[in-house]
Each structure stands twice: as C-alpha cells, then as structure tokens.
Structure 1
Amino acid sequence: MVVSERGHSVDSVSRGGRAVLLDFGGVLVRFRGLEELRRLLPDRPDLDAATRRWLGCEAVRAFERGEHRDAGLFAAQAVVQLGLPIAADEFLRRFVGWVSEPLPGAAELLARLRRELPAGTRIGCLSNTNALHEERILGWLGEDAFDVRFLSHRTGQVKPDRDAYTHACETLGLEPPQVWFADDAAVNVEAALAVGLRAFRARGPGDVARRLEQDGLLPTGSLTSRPRERVRARYARRAGSPGRPPSSRR
C-alpha cells in the first residue's frame, strides 16, 4: 500500500476515476524565464524568491488570467511593477522566447501515460500560460496528448490561487485526493497540497514517471522507465562486467 504526502492511501481513493495533471514549464517544456528574471531583478534573489515575485506580480496575473490580450501593455506594466532595468519592448521580445523547446523525454512520458495509466485515468495540463506561449507548446506536445486542459488565460484561474485547483477538481468531477499534480515551482505544489491534491515537485518528465511509479499508477520496470539501467545491462552483456561501460582504452 502506497501512502501519498497527504496521508491518503491509493487504495482508499474511489476507483471511479483519477486524473494526472502536469504543469508545462519545467515539467514538459524548457522554461528559462525565471532564471532570466532572477538575473534581471536588481537584488538578484534566489530562484524560488524570483518565482514567487513573478507569480505575485499583478501585471503577470492579469495577462495570464486572460483579462487582457494586449501584450505590449502587459510588458510595460510588468517592467514597472517588477523594477526591471530594460525597456518594455525588449522585455516582450525576451518573454516570447522564454518557452524554448520540449524537455527530453516529454513526448515519451505522455505516450507512456496514455499507454500505461489505469483505465479511466484522465491526463491533463494545469498551467499558468498565455496566448503567446500556448500555440507553441501545444504544437510541440500535441493537442491530443491531453484529455483536458486547464490553461490560466482560458480558465481565468492562476496558480497558486486556491481556485485554480478547486476549479480543476470540480470540472473533473473528482475529489482532490483523486488528482495527481506535478509542478516545478514549490509555491504551486504547496498550494495544491493545501487543497488536498497529491501534488509533487517535478523538474522534468523523469521525476513525474518516478513519482507515479512510486504511487502505483505506473508499472515499475517498464522499458521506458529505466533507460540508465537498460544501458548498464547492455554494457554488462557486451563486456561481461557488473554493469559498467567497457573501457575506451585499447
């Protein structure tokens, strides 16, 4: 029996349904924005502090809630509110490129979830995003990768607000302990745990797979779950060693 961080046993959850919700940036796609923001901020805070400042900025919240679609206005307000030492048009140019590419293993993880999660488990995304980034991200990952999408600029709900999580659960028709949620930001994970979701911090597809294996939602030992072990085993068979790559020296 596996026990989650909230103390709810997997076996105690209704078998009527589950969902796995994934953040985009830092979990499925490379998001370099917060590291760049940290370097731009005059006091150079650590990454968690920069993340909290970004999520608390009213210009960011309004833009990612979809309250307005004027990217230029968003950039002008964000530069002032965050105290950034660059012009608004330069900030906007950089902001568009903050989402750069899918993380290695993202497509494989999504395919594995579709193939190996228990029947009736829905796959979704729960992400703070905007119209500038949405098209790029879904173009990379595929719109059909998700059964349901909770994107902040469409729902009007942003993390780490409590409503972002309760809205997702209510829409899914599930109780919070029936929903697994992966995010790379500690503040978002903390807020989701407070609501009762089985939230955990993930910094890439591998972290997601390991946690879902630990909680019994994915089988362990899958061909897609342990690439390092497969490489070691292959080297061991070739070299007759206990799993280390053969020496390159002749």
Structure 2
Amino acid sequence: MFKGIPKQTVSYLKALKANNNREWFEAHRKDYDDYFVEPALQLIEALSPVAAALDPPHFAIPKVNKSLRRIHRDTRFSKDKTPYHTHLHIVLWTGDHPNRSAGTHLVFSDNHFGYGSGHWAFSGDGLERFRAAVQDNKARAELDTALASAAKVDCTPGDPELQRVPRGFDADSPAADYLRRKGIVARTHNDPAYDKRLFGPEALDYLRDLLKALSPLNRWVNKHVETA
C-alpha cells in the first residue's frame, strides 16, 4: 500500500534548487535515489490500476523517462545551463507516446504541487481537427463540460496563445476563445500549496479524485482531435 510522498522529497527539491550543480547532485545521489526516484516509482506503480480504469485508459509506467520524467535538463539550446529540473514530474498519457498525446501531469515542486491535463500543442492536422470541433455546437459543449470538470479541482486553461482569431474564422463566434488556442490544457495556476494528504495514506484516494476530474478533457481530445 502506498503510504504517501515522504516530506523529505520536498526538502530534497528545495536543496537541489539552492544547489543546482553536478558536484552537489553527485554528493547527494543517495537522496536522489531515496527521495526522488524511489517514492515516484512507488506512486506510479500504485496509480497504474487507477490510471488503467479511467476513460480513456491512461498509461502509468514506473520507469525513468516513461511516467517519471528525467531530472536532467536538455541545455543544448537554452541560455539556462543549470543541469537539473528542480521538480518531480509524473505523466500519465493516453496515446502512443507521453510527449505526443493527451495526458495528465503531476508536478511536485519545492514549494507547491501542480497538476493538469490535455494536450499542449496540436500537430498541423490535429490543429485543423481541433478548430473544426470547437465550431461544432455539440462538440464545443462537450469541451465546456470537460473543462467544468477540471475546474472542480482548480484546473483552468491559461490565456490563448494567439492574440486574435486566425484569418478566415469568425471573431464573434462562440468558439472564438478556443480558436485562439494551439492546444487545450487545463492546469493549476499560482503555485497551489501541497495538500497534506499527499504525505500520508490518503494520497492515492486524493490523486484518484484528481485524475477522474481531469480525464474528461483527455477523452475529448482523443475523440475529436487525436483519433478523429
């Protein structure tokens, strides 16, 4: 039975944020194993049957670079050369690849716990299907309902990526806000504090409720965009 995320995980992330360099990381590799990798893999394993029972089924694979994202940053094209992410990122995905399909993300940071679902950016064909779907009254109502479910656990879309509706679309359409988006994601904002249930045996029930509330958005994406 999963007993919760150890509080030492948050302490480790705080220390890593203050010492984001290879020397410190190697000197504290046991803490990385004990308070980052091990509890994350245990949580993912505990969530696996929960994720599989969702609609749509989500994949929860307890491996690094599967459901547990790597702590190492890709700094090749970034001005920020700090080598490590200072959060613990878990992804439960619904398609053929965690980075190319709708999914639910759980992010444990040094001072907050964030989560959300959806698909960040659609492909060219996917974007066309998304724009067609949101202009359909029935499909758009389904999306509204999915986002209302996510809002019950404090997840909402951020600002649209585009300043105006793309050329050729009606700026006064009921779908105007959606048409200004390149993907659809509902997530937490403003760094929500940790819920104390995460640190004890209630963690699994707490996360199960979050996943159930967030899964309708992934279902909508798969129905109208990914598998259209």
> Under a length normalisation based on structure 2, what TM-score does the superposition of the two structures give?
0.29
> Under a length normalisation based on structure 1, what TM-score does the superposition of the two structures give?
0.27
